Amino acid sequence: MASRPELILASASPRRLALLNQIGIEPEHLVPAHVDETPEKGELPRKLAGRLAELKALTAQHKARVAGFGSDALVLAADTVVAVGRRILPKAETMEEASDCLRLLSGRAHRVYTGVTLLTPSGAKRQRVVETRLRFKRLSTREMEAYLASAEWRDKAGGYAIQGIAGSFVVKLSGSYSGVVGLPLHEVTQLLAGEGYPVHFNWLNQSSLTGV
């Protein structure tokens, strides 16, 4: 039996690593890929999510090979974009940006696009862009102020993290919850399995340990 390929996660995000761990996957390497995330003129949210995921994957692959490892590894990258209509919301870095995002999202529907790219050692590229539709409750001034004070919004697309306090703002979600967190697990599992990565290996080991 051929040995399984190594996996590089092109991210330093604790939440993306935790999502992979949730389905029994532990990447051999974490290679953060810092890229310019500025949308191109007229670029739509879906296209931006896919383009940035691909750029992150290529950047991490290059960094790994320059550092002398990962030549035979799969490289997995993702990027999440929050949008209201065609308007792309920023990754909030200041309280003012986060406040603007919350006011725009309050009581309205929006969409989250998460692009996923998997690069293979042979040079093949597999991609998915997952769309999730959400609606926020109408937020009171007190709720907004309290959320801003929590600082949970910092460096989050759209100024919120659904896996945290802001989960209480969501009244409706249609699509991939894990995609909104940062990594759509169904699509990631399909991509990895399609390239021969044994995504179920640890599931089988876990069942033997628990006696299931």
Token code pair at residue 169: 């703002």
Q: How far apart are CA 123 and CA 139, in angstroms?
A: 47
Active site residue 155: no
Contacts of 20 (CB under 8 A, 6+ apart): 9, 26, 27, 183, 188
Name the pLDDT band for 1 (thresholds 50, 70, 90): very low
| Domains of the chain with CATH codes | 7-210 (3.90.950.10)
Q: What pLDDT score does 4 carry?
A: 77
Q: How far apart are CA 48 and CA 157, in angstroms?
A: 13
Q: What pLDDT score does 206 carry?
A: 60
Q: What pLDDT score does 3 carry?
A: 67
Q: How far apart are CA 179 and CA 204, in angstroms?
A: 25
pLDDT, one tens digit per residue, over 130-188 is 999 999 999 999 999 999 999 999 999 999 999 999 999 999 999 999 999 999 999 99
The amino acid at 63: K
Name the pLDDT band for 205 (thresholds 50, 70, 90): low
Shortest CA distance to 182 belongs to which of 157, 200, 205?
157
Annotated active-site residue in 36, 79, 100, 155 = 79
Shortest CA distance to 7 belongs to which of 83, 85, 69?
69
Q: What pLDDT score does 212 carry?
A: 47
Whether the pTM exceeds 0.85: the reply is yes
**Mode of pairing for the β-strands spanning 7-9 and 74-84:** parallel
CA atoms within 13 A on the CB side of 65: 12
